[in-house]
Amino acid sequence: MKILIAYGTTEGQTRKIARFCADRLIEAGHSVELMRAADAEGLDVGRFDGAILAGSVHIGQYQDDLIRFARGAAETLRLRPTLFLSVSLAAAGDEPDDWKGLQDCVARFCEATGWTPGRVEHIAGAFRFSQYDFFRTWAMRWIAARKGQRVVPGEDREYTDWEALRRLMKDWAESAGRGLSAPAVTARGP
């Protein structure tokens, strides 16, 4: 299959996740085009057999460039097997309120873009203290402390489960190949 991966990222973890997904799909024999959503404007999405969109949650929102791209491509995406990867720190935990919040984020994304992904998966992201400014460092240290997470100032901490992501790529590509990815939102969580 020819697969598009378009992503939005603020501190870089979603780019790392998108590259990992691209590598796994290429290993499985697919052809992949990987790009930042900001660079995908005007792209002919009809050239692809399937698409993965990925973005990270920042104060309950995904990146504007991802929203713009999904809105512009919604008509074409709707006709193809698609997967939306929502990257967040809430997905690293098992707080029911946090998971409800993530589902609300996806619902707002669908409403803003007019696109309902064939499948939605929540992926745990990372603390990227190496990328934060002074304000963000303090805000994120406060969040970490509130959640009982131990973080070392200046040190990044990754929660992404790479093995689970590998399995997800295999599973999604197989079902996309069989044309089984029916439009419905599924979200993991308690």
Ligand X SMILES: Cc1cc2nc3c(=O)[nH]c(=O)nc-3n(C[C@H](O)[C@H](O)[C@H](O)COP(=O)(O)O)c2cc1C
- Interacting residue ranges for ligand X, rule: CB under 6 A: 9-14, 56-60, 87-90, 125-126, 128, 136, 140
CB of 121 to ligand X, least distance (A): 14
Count of H helices and E strands in the chain?
A: 5, 7
Nearer to ligand X, 177 or 189 (CB): 189
Would you say 40 and 10 are in contact if contact means Cβ atoms under 8 Å apart?
Answer: no
Q: How many CA atoms lie within 13 A of 188 on its CB side?
A: 15
CB of 37 to ligand X, least distance (A): 12
CB of 67 to ligand X, least distance (A): 14
Nearer to ligand X, 102 or 173 (CB): 102
Nearer to ligand X, 87 or 176 (CB): 87
Nearer to ligand X, 93 or 177 (CB): 93
Nearer to ligand X, 58 or 188 (CB): 58
**Distance (Å, whole) CA 121 – CA 185:** 9
Expressed in angstroms, the distance from the first to the final Cα of the chain is 33
CB of 140 to ligand X, least distance (A): 6
CB of 189 to ligand X, least distance (A): 12
User: DSSP E strands: which ranges in the chain?
Assistant: 2-7, 31-36, 50-56, 82-88, 119-124, 126-127, 157-158
CB of 108 to ligand X, least distance (A): 12
**Distance (Å, whole) CA 31 – CA 25:** 8
Nearer to ligand X, 32 or 89 (CB): 89
**Distance (Å, whole) CA 84 – CA 27:** 21
Token digits of residue 69: 């791209």
